[in-house]
Amino acid sequence: MPAEPGRADRLFVLTAYGALREVPAAHAPGPLLAADSWLVADGRVRALDRHRRRFTATCAGTAGVPGPVLDAFWTAMAALLPREAGHWFPRVELDTAPAQASPDTVLPGGHRLLYRLRPAPARTKTARVWGLAVCDPRRTPRHKGPDLGALAEVRSRATAADADEALLVTADGVVLEAANSSLLWWEEDVLCHPPADLPVLPGVTASLLLDRAARTGVRVRPVRRRLSALAGREVWVANALHGLRPVTAWTGGSLPAGAPLRAAAWQSWLDGLGTPLPG
C-alpha cells in the first residue's frame, strides 16, 4: 500500500494547562525516553488501549511521570487523532526537554510529552528480511524509544541489502526480533516466539496474535532458536504499521524461506480488529 501523498508531519507538546500546543514539526527534540506508534486507517485503530498501557508504563517506570499527567496527555492526544479518510501513523513521545523548550511544557523532572501526527508510510503484505543476523545494538530493548536511532541505522543497512527488515540476535546468535517488528514462526502446528526472559520488546501486534492462538486452541511455545533453525519454516514479522507479514525471502544468504500457508487467514483476522475512534 503506498504512502499517503501530500501530507506533512504535525507536532504537538503538552502544556502545564493539560492542552496540546502545536509547534513546528522541525522543532528540535530532546533525547527520546519513550515512544509508541500505531496505524490509523480511515478513522479506525487497532488495540489503542494496549499501546496506551505500554507507553504510560514506560513513562511512569523510567521517568516517574504521574498518572494524572499521562491521563491528561492521552485524552488530549486522542481527541486529535484523525477521523477522516486516509492512513496515518501517529507517535507519542516522552523526551528530555531541550534547553530551548518553553517552560510551561517542561514536566517536573525535566521531561516533555509530545504527539506527532505523521502520514502512514508505504505498507506491504510480505517482508524480505536481511539474512545476515545483526547483534542487538539496543541499550533498552524492553522500552521503545531510546534506541530508535540505532535501529534506524540497522534498517538502512538492511535496505541496502534489498531487505525490508533486519533480524536482531543475542551475542551468541539466539534470534530476538526484527529491527521494527516482533518475530514469530511455526514449528509444525505450534506457533513459536522468543521467550520473554530474552531482551525483546513486548510487541502489541504480537500479543494480539498470541492471544488469538490461545483462544482458538493453537499451541504456543516460547523457544530459543538460532537463525539456521528457521530455514524452510513459515516465519512472520509483526508490527502496528504493517500488521502481520510472512517472510518470503532471507536476503544476503542461502537460507530458504518457508511457504506462508497460514498467514493470509491470520492477516484477514488482524485487519478486522480496527475499531472506530470515538466522536
Instruction: Dump pLDDT digits (tens) for 61-80.
Output: 999 999 999 999 999 999 99
Tell me which architecture the domain covering 10-117 has in CATH: 2-Layer Sandwich (3.30)
Task: Please provide the average confidence, as pLDDT, over all residues in the chain.
Answer: 96
d(CA 119, CA 184): 28
- Quote the CA–CA distance of 177 and 184 in Å, as a whole number: 8
The pLDDT value given to residue 114: 98
Q: How confident is the model at residue 27 (pLDDT cuts 50, 70, 90)?
A: confident
Q: What pLDDT digit, counting tens, does each position of 210-252 carry? A: 999 999 999 999 999 999 999 999 999 999 999 999 999 999 8
Domain boundaries of the chain, sorted by first residue: 10-117, 127-274
Please choose, from the candidates 43, 8, 30, the residue with its C-alpha nearest in 3D space to the C-alpha of residue 106. 30
Phi, psi angle pair for 208, to nearest 5° = -65, -45
Average pLDDT value for residue range 184-195: 99
Statement: residue 6 has pLDDT above 80: no
Does domain 127-274 correspond to CATH entry 2.40.30.10?
no
Structure confidence by residue, pLDDT tens digits, 141-166? 999 999 999 999 999 999 999 999 99
What DSSP letter does each residue of 119-144 carry, written as one string?
BPPP--SSEEEEEEEEE---S-TTSS
